[in-house]
A and B are shown apart, each in its own frame.
Chain A
Amino acid sequence: MAGDPLARVLYIDLARKKYWVEDRRDLFEQYMGGTGVAVKLLEEELPRGADPLGPENVIVFAVGPLTALYPLASKTVALFKSPLTGNLGESHAGGRSAAAIRLAGLGAIVIKGASEHPVYISIHNDKVYFRNARTLWGIRSSYTVGRIIREAEPGAGLRSIMRIGRAGENLVRYATVITETYRHFGRLGLGAVFGSKKLKALVVMGKQTIPVPQKSLYRQVYQEIYNAATRSDLMKKYHDIGTPVNVAPLNALGALPTRNLGQARFEDADKISGEAMAAKHLARRTACSHCPVACIHVAALREPYVDEPYFYKTSFVSYDYEPIYSLGTMLGIGDTEGLLKLIDAVEIAGLDAMSTGVVLAWATEALERGIVSEEDTLVKLSWGDHEAYIRAVEHIVSQPNEFYKALAQGALRAAEKYGGKEFALVFGGNEMPGYHTGPAAHIGYLIGARHSHLDNAGYSLDQKIFKSQGKPLSPEETIDRLMEEEAWRQILSSTVVCFFARGIYRPEVVSEALKPLGIEMSGEDLRKLGWRIYREKYRLKLREGFDPAKLKAPPRIFETPTPYGKLDPGYVERALKYFADKIRELVAP
């Protein structure tokens, strides 16, 4: 890696408005980059038991050796302590963030302390500017914030503008950081951590050369990966209809969580499916930097103004499977226009679409059951009423009463306060992803380091096993398969490659791609490193109070049948017990 600036880590202290760069090749040589290096940086910098919303919390952004060099190596990893779960927070986003960080000559950025007044940080190659953001604080729409910074900063096309909305400013514990308008560090509340530090945005611009030792081999491997990405079927589902292609098959399978998972099929699924969205609204597709796939599907939503005839606005709203699930089926919304308006409201506020939908689904059921009243909810939340939900989103952001203060802390805390934990769809403190495919999905959410469906792809294992044998693997086998997958994914997120490209970046391909950069590691070496990073992550989680023995699935998942029928609590219990043993074994010195 001679001459590669990847090992340079930029430290930023918001309290003292200072910055410096350190050479951390010690970490990059051992842990590759991305999540592997970030977990070590976080471990170093984060005081034990830190308050996630206190100045002592630390944000780490990291990229890896493949970033900006190969197609689909387009993601940035963010690590922090999550204000939603109180433990390790990890979130990945694309846009132009990864290329910009790498080409600013950096491998990671560590942000510490808190500013006493709103600021945004602007990184231009070797210089870091602390800009006053008092004027940006409180602006209604996250789109506007992006627009203003775009004009204030140089480097169009070569920069990333990561920003929070009002949800982040108001410390909603599932507030997002938005980048390039349609991509997000979505889950686990990085936006609230930004807000607690009075950090409105982070701009990174870079275009430096990354020297490659073996130039012709580099071009050759590049071409092979490019061909796989553009000429094979491996990426087809992402570029054609996009992730919403999942709506119809999951519904047919009876695995699509609907109305707070009271059902697993939605009668209007065909009206909000990927096919329906594309036919009615698809206006443009866009891509992250260095990704030929262009999975970002943007809908055009044309709305008349009611106060003036022949006066319209057209909004561009990006949609994916997850917001269609969380803000659509979970809330019983079966029309694309209502759904897009709600997705847009969530984007304007800067909230995580998934947590917001699940929180609102809990609130709707709580109101239905009389656990809370309309005095609490202020609006009559009812399945399918997108206008009521849009008003509720605004209340989550502004928190006008005790009920919305609780909702702003997530479904678990709200249920602890008001009751209704049995139907709060929360896993390890994080709201549920959109797959009720079987035991592996739910166990996967519980044991995944982020409680995300992408940690270990339990949803995919469920569907594969269902197709091949119709009944689940043994609990132990399920855990083994999930852990194996999660360990490997540490390599994808350490090099850093988009998880959507996992079919292309098999261990041998990652090994080939590293070779021209002067990194000799076999597929087997990489697998082993994946396990080491996985272990380091869990060590940090345990240090911060994670207890695998306390993992518990929400009772609701056992009531609504999956494709395998009703899940057996005994099965899940046995799996979790086995997992707790495996984790103890893994982290043992």
Chain B
Amino acid sequence: MPNRLSVVDSERCVGCQLCMFACARRFGDGGLERSAILIRSIGGVERGFTVVVCRACRDPPCAAVCPENALKLRKGGGVLLDPNKCTGCGHCREACIIGAVFWDERANKPNICVHCGYCVNFCPHGVLALEEVAA
């Protein structure tokens, strides 16, 4: 069965952002340019945090607006990017109302969460989990 990254409880999030760094570290480098998850405060640290990440839509608007057919439906929801087709037009980013299509400025292409769960291994506070979903 395919996996899906799920936000179990954002109230447990302390804003350490280890998930963001983990996501970028998949490629072996540091920094956040290639991260596909974002932790930001809800109007200031004093109000807590929100987790912005792909929620694996079954009928994803990002794919619907891609003029190059570069976003293919992923089993279990969400999309997979074919970077060879992507021209960096940015329509997908506009289409995602939760802001979960992040942008790699250097490559001028989107960062798309593939629901691999690498970030879950570095969430020490039980905010994130990987769950099995129907294909």
- Contact residues of A with B, CB < 8 Å? 68-69, 71, 95-96, 99, 103, 143, 146-147, 150, 156-158, 180-182, 207-212, 215-216, 218-219, 222, 226, 230, 284-294, 298, 316
* One of B27-35, B65-73, B76-84, B90-98 contacting the partner: B27-35
Q: Which of B7-33 contact A (CB under 8 A)?
A: 14-18, 20-21, 24-25, 27-33
CB distance from B16 to the nearest CB of A (A): 4
A146 CB contacts on chain B under 8 angstroms: 44
- Judged by a CB distance under 8 angstroms, whether B38 is at the interface is yes
Interface residue count on the B side (C-beta < 8 Å):
34
The distance in angstroms between the C-alpha atoms of A71 and B106, with both chains bound, is 25
B47 CB contacts on chain A under 8 angstroms: 316
B14 CB contacts on chain A under 8 angstroms: 284-287, 294
Q: By the criterion CB–CB under 8 Å, are A215 and B28 in contact? A: yes
Which of A210, A286, A292 is the one whose CB lies under 8 Å from B30?
Answer: A210
The distance in angstroms between the C-alpha atoms of A231 and B106, with both chains bound, is 36
* A180-B45, A222-B25 known; A287 vs B31 contact (CB < 8 Å): no
The distance in angstroms between the C-alpha atoms of A206 and B111, with both chains bound, is 16
The distance in angstroms between the C-alpha atoms of A69 and B31, with both chains bound, is 7
- Judged by a CB distance under 8 angstroms, whether B108 is at the interface is no
B29 CB contacts on chain A under 8 angstroms: 209-212, 215
Q: By the criterion CB–CB under 8 Å, are B43 and A286 in contact? A: no
The distance in angstroms between the C-alpha atoms of A285 and B15, with both chains bound, is 9
Nearest B-chain residue to A146, judged by Cβ: B44
B122 CB contacts on chain A under 8 angstroms: 226, 292
Q: By the criterion CB–CB under 8 Å, are A207 and B33 in contact? A: yes
The distance in angstroms between the C-alpha atoms of A69 and B24, with both chains bound, is 11
CB distance from A3 to the nearest CB of B (A): 9
A sample of 18 cross-chain residue pairs with beta-carbon separation below 8 angstroms, ordered by A number, consists of: A103-B31, A147-B44, A157-B17, A207-B33, A208-B32, A209-B29, A209-B33, A212-B28, A212-B29, A212-B30, A215-B28, A216-B28, A226-B18, A230-B124, A285-B14, A286-B14, A287-B14, A298-B46
Complex A-B, nearest 3 residue pairs according to Cβ-Cβ distance, in ascending order: A215-B28, A157-B40, A210-B30
Q: By the criterion CB–CB under 8 Å, are B31 and A292 in contact? A: no
The distance in angstroms between the C-alpha atoms of A285 and B127, with both chains bound, is 14
The count of A-to-B residue pairs whose CB atoms sit within 8 angstroms is 104
The distance in angstroms between the C-alpha atoms of A294 and B127, with both chains bound, is 14
- Judged by a CB distance under 8 angstroms, whether B48 is at the interface is yes
CB distance from B91 to the nearest CB of A (A): 20
The distance in angstroms between the C-alpha atoms of A289 and B31, with both chains bound, is 12
CB distance from B83 to the nearest CB of A (A): 16
- Judged by a CB distance under 8 angstroms, whether B39 is at the interface is yes
The distance in angstroms between the C-alpha atoms of A147 and B46, with both chains bound, is 11
Nearest A-chain residue to B48, judged by Cβ: A284
- Judged by a CB distance under 8 angstroms, whether B87 is at the interface is no
B35 CB contacts on chain A under 8 angstroms: 207
Q: By the criterion CB–CB under 8 Å, are B34 and A209 in contact? A: yes
The distance in angstroms between the C-alpha atoms of A310 and B22, with both chains bound, is 46
The distance in angstroms between the C-alpha atoms of A446 and B116, with both chains bound, is 53
Q: By the criterion CB–CB under 8 Å, are B124 and A292 in contact? A: yes
* A157-B40, A209-B24 known; A103 vs B32 contact (CB < 8 Å): yes
A103 CB contacts on chain B under 8 angstroms: 31-32
Which of B20, B45, B49, B106 is the one whose CB lies under 8 Å from A182?
Answer: B45
CB distance from B26 to the nearest CB of A (A): 9
Nearest A-chain residue to B21, judged by Cβ: A290
Which of A209, A230, A293, A316 is the one whose CB lies under 8 Å from B31?
Answer: A209
Q: Mark B100-133, 1 if CB is under 8 A from A, else 0.
A: 0000001000000000000000101100000000
* A68-B21, A230-B124, A286-B14 known; A150 vs B44 contact (CB < 8 Å): yes
The distance in angstroms between the C-alpha atoms of A222 and B40, with both chains bound, is 23
Q: By the criterion CB–CB under 8 Å, are A157 and B43 in contact? A: no
A298 CB contacts on chain B under 8 angstroms: 46
The distance in angstroms between the C-alpha atoms of A150 and B29, with both chains bound, is 29
* A230-B124, A287-B14, A289-B17 known; A147 vs B30 contact (CB < 8 Å): no
CB distance from A196 to the nearest CB of B (A): 27
B46 CB contacts on chain A under 8 angstroms: 143, 181-182, 298, 316
The distance in angstroms between the C-alpha atoms of A215 and B29, with both chains bound, is 7
* A180-B45, A285-B14, A290-B17 known; A209 vs B28 contact (CB < 8 Å): no
Q: By the criterion CB–CB under 8 Å, are A292 and B18 in contact? A: yes
Q: By the criterion CB–CB under 8 Å, are A219 and B44 in contact? A: no
The distance in angstroms between the C-alpha atoms of A287 and B15, with both chains bound, is 6
A71 CB contacts on chain B under 8 angstroms: 18
* A103-B32, A294-B125 known; A289 vs B16 contact (CB < 8 Å): yes
The distance in angstroms between the C-alpha atoms of A219 and B15, with both chains bound, is 22
The distance in angstroms between the C-alpha atoms of A218 and B18, with both chains bound, is 15
Most chain B CB neighbours (cut-off 10 Å) among A216, A219, A286:
A286
The distance in angstroms between the C-alpha atoms of A158 and B37, with both chains bound, is 12
Which of A156, A157, A208 is the one whose CB lies under 8 Å from B33?
Answer: A208
A287 CB contacts on chain B under 8 angstroms: 14-17
CB distance from B6 to the nearest CB of A (A): 20
Nearest A-chain residue to B30, judged by Cβ: A210
* A181-B44, A216-B28, A219-B28 known; A157 vs B21 contact (CB < 8 Å): no
Nearest B-chain residue to A159, judged by Cβ: B40
The distance in angstroms between the C-alpha atoms of A122 and B45, with both chains bound, is 20
B44 CB contacts on chain A under 8 angstroms: 143, 146-147, 150, 181
* A212-B30, A219-B25, A226-B122 known; A147 vs B18 contact (CB < 8 Å): no
Which of A212, A284, A288 is the one whose CB lies under 8 Å from B16?
Answer: A288
CB distance from A318 to the nearest CB of B (A): 8
Nearest A-chain residue to B42, judged by Cβ: A156
The distance in angstroms between the C-alpha atoms of A285 and B49, with both chains bound, is 11
